[in-house]
Amino acid sequence: MRLGDGLIPLFDLVVFLWIPEDIRLTRLKERELQSYGSAVEPGGSRYENSQAFLRWAAQYDTGGMEIRSRLLHEKWLASLTCPVLRIEGDTTVEERIKAVESMITGKAQTQSRA
């Protein structure tokens, strides 16, 4: 059993967010720079760690079951008994919120009819 597995039966909804690799990696690089500044630039004290992290993150879409990858997540999502909302693409925060609200509202309406 992995950490958190005991909570899975309590889930009412899982939201899977996927963003295209180029956008995801650009955002990660920007976040690394914002968080660590010049330390992640060549010669910086965190440069090697940052590069290793970005290489690891770049494997998400093509990696196997041995790493935190889309394949691993798809297998996990398929094992769930609760609804899964997939939000894929470069969506805005507002679009994501609306999708989640719609899913929750629709679920609440379905339950109230039962």
> 31 pLDDT exceeds 50?
yes
Domain count, the chain: 1
- State pTM to two decimals: 0.80
DSSP state of 114: -
- Asked if residue 112 is part of any domain, the answer here is no
Determine the pLDDT at residue 107: 66
Determine the pLDDT at residue 59: 95
Domain that holds residue 24: 5-107
Determine the pLDDT at residue 81: 94
Determine the pLDDT at residue 112: 44
Across 82-109, average pLDDT: 90
- Asked if residue 34 is part of any domain, the answer here is yes
- Asked if residue 114 is part of any domain, the answer here is no
- Distance between CA atoms of 105 and 95, rounded to whole angstroms? 15
Closest by CA position to 61, among listed 18, 15, 96: 18
- Asked if residue 113 is part of any domain, the answer here is no
| Residue 113 confidence class, pLDDT cut points 50, 70, 90 | very low
- Asked if residue 87 is part of any domain, the answer here is yes
Helices marked H in the chain: 21-36, 47-58, 70-79, 93-113
> 108 pLDDT exceeds 60?
no
